[in-house]
Homo-oligomer: A and B are copies of this chain.
Amino acid sequence: MKTEETNNNKSPHHAVIIGGGFGGLYAAKELGRSDVKVTLIDKRNFHLFQPLLYQVATGSLSPGDIASPLRGVLKNNKNVTVLLGEAIDLKPEENKLVLRDRDLTYDSLIVATGVKDFYFGKDEWEEKAPPLKTVENALEMRRRILEAFEEAEKESDPRKRRALLTFVIVGGGPTGVELAGALAELAYKKFKPDFRNFDTGETRIFLVEGMERVLPPFAPELSAKAEAGLRELGVTVRTKSLVTNIEDGKVSVRSGEETEEIEAETVLWAAGVKASGMGKAIASRTGASVDRAGRVVVEKDLSVPGHPNIFVIGDLANYPHQGEKPLPGVAPVAMQQGCYAANVIKKRLKNQTLPTFKYIDYGSLAVIGRNRAVVDLNFWRFSGFLAWIVWVFVHIYYVIEFDNKLIVMIQWAWSYFTRDGGARLITEKPSQR
């Protein structure tokens, strides 16, 4: 194996990509069918379509519906090797990446390890309010949601039942809004005929957001539409409100001077994220600066300052060269950056250059329950059923891009007409990492 790991003039350029999310996978696909030898490293053996993870958490889809095995996606790109492993450090002076079980020499490195959930320093909240980043997180959320209803069916004390039927979602970004909408559909519609000892209409769903409106990155008119839509579905929206404490069965929410104590057995976290560990490693090994969220501030070609062969893309990158704010941590940014970094590498091998990276914003969209979404195409903002159709088609397009998951489309069509949720299983708690 030694020759493969040594960079000599005879062996092809070796590009190592860390992370099989949107950024890393687009980079790998863009480098696929080229002369570059590519190694894609991920801790997991699948690409996860994270925007639909909330549907796993609420029992509409199975993990297999929104995850595509990386080897399957890249099976026809014979120059790409997938390696299950975890990157923990790098030695830029030797062009070496340190994995947990080996070192790997690269010619170019693309770091796309993304972000992890963040509890604003209150790590003890994680146990009480699970996040929604991984498949296991989603199954744990599903388990807690379904078990709360099961316990309510058995509970005769009205106060305890009320707490079992109270859900608090922390964070009013797209994940929180989508989760709240799906939970409302579940409680007020799908579950209606399922229970005998209580009315699922008693369910209370709180969505708590610190900013003055939900979906803060969207235009204010769409935030207002989303909030109205959620209220109509039965969600209690608390904006300008901070969760100040989470303990077993109780959440404290401060709005201005007042603190409300909500008795709730289920709290779901859809709030902060922070950079994955590779951000820190890059900063300490290259002297690159990181922002408050731990993201690496990159050059105009997405490389790390002083290290033109190391790129940071996607949620882990802070790209401040377009407007005053860094680009948001959304899938389209990661995809475009993945393609761009791959193209920089290909051009360089031909001694050519590429113009500065420029993000093309096609718009943003979020769904609020069945039939309703908000869409901002920059030149046109709209909401309601048409927006929902756009949302469905955009998501289907991307889900089936890598893996012909036509099945997801059919499943959606089916659920739409039957209001049936196919995956409402209480399965065992995955072991802690």
Bound-state CA distance A194–B83 (Å) is: 11
A99 CB → nearest B CB, Å: 10
Residue A71, interface by CB 8 Å? yes
Contact with B along A194-220 (1 / 0, CB 8 A): 111100000000000000000000000
Copies of this polypeptide in the complex: 2
Binary interface encoding of chain A residues 76-89 relative to chain B, with 1 for a CB under 8 A from any of its CBs, else 0: 10100111110000
A118 at the B interface (CB under 8 A): no
A406: interface (CB < 8 Å) = yes
Q: Which of B78, B83, B414 contacts A154 (CB 8 A)?
A: B83
Write the chain B residue with the least CB distance to A45.
B426
Residues A156 and B1 in contact, CB atoms below 8 Å apart? yes
Flag whether A62 is at the interface (Cβ < 8 A). Answer: yes
- Please name the residue on chain B nearest to A69 by beta carbon: B424
Interface residue count on the A side (C-beta < 8 Å): 59
Query: Is B410's CB under 8 angstroms from A407's CB?
Result: yes
Among A257-265, A356-364, A370-378, A415-423, which stretch is in contact with chain B? A415-423
Closest B-chain residue to A197, C-beta based?
B81
User: A44: CB under 8 A from chain B?
Assistant: yes
Q: A326: CB under 8 A from chain B?
A: no
A64 touches B422 (CB 8 A): yes
Residues of B within 8 A of A422 (CB): 64-65, 403, 405, 407
Q: List residues of chain B with CB within 8 A of the CB of A193.
A: 75-76
Query: Is A431 positioned at the interface, with any CB of B under 8 Å from its CB?
Result: yes
Interface flag for A404 (CB, 8 Å): yes
- B423 A45 Cβ-Cβ under 8 A: no
Subset of 16 A-B contacts with CB under 8 Å: A44-B426, A45-B424, A46-B424, A46-B425, A46-B426, A63-B423, A64-B425, A65-B422, A67-B423, A81-B196, A81-B197, A83-B154, A84-B150, A135-B427, A136-B427, A428-B430
**Chain A residues in contact with chain B, CB under 8 A?**
1, 44-46, 59, 61-65, 67, 69, 71-72, 75-76, 78, 81-85, 135-136, 139, 146, 150, 153-154, 156, 191, 193-197, 403-407, 410-411, 414, 418, 420-433
Known: A83-B154, A428-B433. 18 other contacts (CB 8 A): A44-B426, A45-B424, A46-B425, A61-B64, A62-B63, A62-B423, A64-B422, A64-B423, A69-B425, A75-B194, A82-B153, A83-B153, A135-B427, A404-B414, A404-B418, A407-B407, A430-B430, A431-B432
